[in-house]
Amino acid sequence: MSIPTIMGITPKTITTDRITTRVLFSGPDDGIPVFLIHGNTSSATWWEETMISLPTGYRGIAPDQRGFGDADREKKINATRGMGNLADDAVALLDHLGIENAHIVGNSLGGNVVWRMLADCPGRFISATLADPGSPYGYGATRDIEGTPTTPDFAGSGAGLSNPEAIQRIIDGDRSTESQFSPRLVLRTLLVKPPFIPAREEELLSALLSTHMGEKDQPGDSLQSPNWPFVAPGVWGARNALSPKYVVNVKRIMTSEPKTRVLWVRGSHSLLVSDTSIADPGILGKMELLPGWPGEDVYPPQPMVGQIRAVLDSYAAAGGNYEEIVIQDTGHIPFIENPEEFNAIFHEHILQ
């Protein structure tokens, strides 16, 4: 799917030694590189306004990740590696472009890729910016800020609870507002704080609809589980790769060297990454939207924000440093919903 770009953005198709994909560029070829990694069910398109707003002398670089947009559809995400495939793809692109060090930025799933890169290749960072990132312990099926699993098989995480109607509407390319599961209404109600509607909603929606669909893509495969909510993660696709079953050993993030400056920016009203996430089985069970919830003693909500803060506190105690900033009255994509405030914070961070 070809999505129009805004003035100042140059799309290119690039083949590295790992994958062929679309990469968006802004700024001068010899500018200071800013590498932006998009979230789940989106593409590099979501970063365009951020890229053209970069300070003078900075070069924006944003790829369509494996499983999304115009990335090679034959390349699948091996979920058993967690964010390994996506992190390795990012490093291969930096290598292909001859970039040794870059400012790295990630939103949501892209934030999880940044966590993995902080563990695997911390020397590639000038700075790191986490914009409403997923928890470094993964998504779902953990009970405390230490990331303790709720069950041995991580039931409730991964692809198994994907809404069938929402998935089918993506497959069908639905652009309507006829159902709460229509992608357009998901964008308007779950990703931003209503009544905000993005100026480039059509392009953002097109990017969402360009998500690769199938058992090895979205939503991915799943396994039956004897533990509530009776599904466990499979081995393919981004949603399974976000399961705490497959995430990197978080201690590697805390102890990584060299340390880099980390900026953590989050929207005050993010419904997807919070201690009361609407996508968390613990919350859905508590709200009686997911039957049979065994109670907080067995399956409590995941303290996502608390987990992120605890990891970054440990990172700082080991010699790193971070800043947490909350943008008020803003949802899960603050760089789109509140770009002036986000850019002021972000630019100050990368200009240091």
Per domain, the residue ranges of the chain are 10-350
Helix (H, G, I), strand (E, B) or coil at 25: strand
**Averaged pLDDT, 59-70:** 98
DSSP state of 55: P
At residue 19 the predicted structure's pLDDT band, cuts being 50, 70 and 90, is very high
Cβ(141)–Cβ(157) under 8 Å? Answer: yes
**How wide is the angle at C-alpha 107 spanned by C-alphas 248 and 81, nearest 5°?**
25
10-350 maps to which CATH number? 3.40.50.1820
Q: By percentage, how much of the chain surpasses pLDDT 70?
A: 100
DSSP sequence for 203-269: HHHHHHHTS-EETTSEE--EEE-SSTTSEEE-SBSHHHHTSTTT---HHHHHH-SS--EEEEEEETT
pLDDT digits over 154-194, tens only?
Answer: 999 999 999 999 999 999 999 999 999 999 999 999 999 99
State the Cα–Cα distance between residues 335 and 347, nearest whole angstrom. Answer: 12
**Averaged pLDDT, 30-40:** 98
Burial of 233 (C-beta count, 10 Å sphere; 0-12/13-18/19+): buried
At residue 1 the predicted structure's pLDDT band, cuts being 50, 70 and 90, is low
Determine the distance from the C-alpha atom of residue 214 to the mean position of all C-alpha atoms in its chain, rounded to a whole number.
19
**Averaged pLDDT, 18-33:** 98
The model carries a pTM of 0.98
Q: What is the pLDDT of residue 2?
A: 80
Q: By percentage, how much of the chain surpasses pLDDT 90?
A: 99
pLDDT digits over 245-270, tens only?
Answer: 999 999 999 999 999 999 999 999 99
